[in-house]
Amino acid sequence: MEIQEQIKNILSILPEGVRLVAVSKTKPVEAILDAYNGGQRIFGENRPQEMMAKYRELPKDIEWHMIGQLQEKNVKYIASFVALIHSVDSLRLLMKIDKEAANQGRVIDCLLEFHIAQEPTKAGLRYEEAEELLKSEVYRQMQHVRIVGVMGIATFTDCELQIRQEFHQLKEYFLRLKQHFFKEDPMFRELSMGMSGDYRIAVEEGATMVRIGSAIFGKRIYTV
Ligand SMILES: *Cc1c(COP(=O)(O)O)cnc(C)c1O
């Protein structure tokens, strides 16, 4: 019951229109089912094979979101069912997604991931790189991907001001891209930002999707 309770608490804080991605990476299907039975339908995973295994076992009306760094060779595992890929950080990856989606006869929704944190390890595009990608002829020819917004991960810090500035920066990137590349496209509208520790700030800064794991499912235990 605790998982459902946590979800309810979070939903009660989220403004209308902000969607909750329950990040279930490393968690067993039982935990996901518990959340599902409480009404949750969107789940986020960061490993393609793990996501595929869970997809096979669980109800088919679940919306699976890939939130972690995705290697080109692993796109094939999720291309037939993934609802949204949050972590597109290169033209090469987008090309691969386009190709695998074409094989499946579908269009896959994607977010461009931006580097907004101070930490050098966090993945993501710089603004100029995103512009270059969107201007490229290769991208313009793609028929099987649709870019519906942006995603970012803030620095892991106690400094609220810094986190707020990073989310603000992401919103600004979003608005600039909207203006320059997606003006006539109502589907370009998602701002995926905010995790367990900082989603309240993200919502204040305009998030349309928050990705919350440990605040719902408890701490993760990683085994290598
Ligand atoms: C793991 C992860 C989350 C969720 O993190 P929590 O702190 O457990 O809420 C969100 N986004 C990404 C990209 C993640 O990898």
- Per-residue confidence (pLDDT) for residue 6, from 0 to 100: 97
The whole-angstrom separation of Cα 151 and Cα 88 is 9
67 Cβ below 6 A of ligand 1: yes
Tens digit of each residue's pLDDT (9 = 90 or more) over 47-84: 999 999 999 999 999 999 999 999 999 999 999 999 99
Residue 123: band (very low, low, confident or very high) from pLDDT cuts 50, 70, 90:
confident
Tens digit of each residue's pLDDT (9 = 90 or more) over 107-120: 999 999 999 998 87
21 Cβ below 6 A of ligand 1: no
27 Cβ below 6 A of ligand 1: no
Question: Which residue is closest in CA terms to ligand 1's atom 15?
Answer: 68
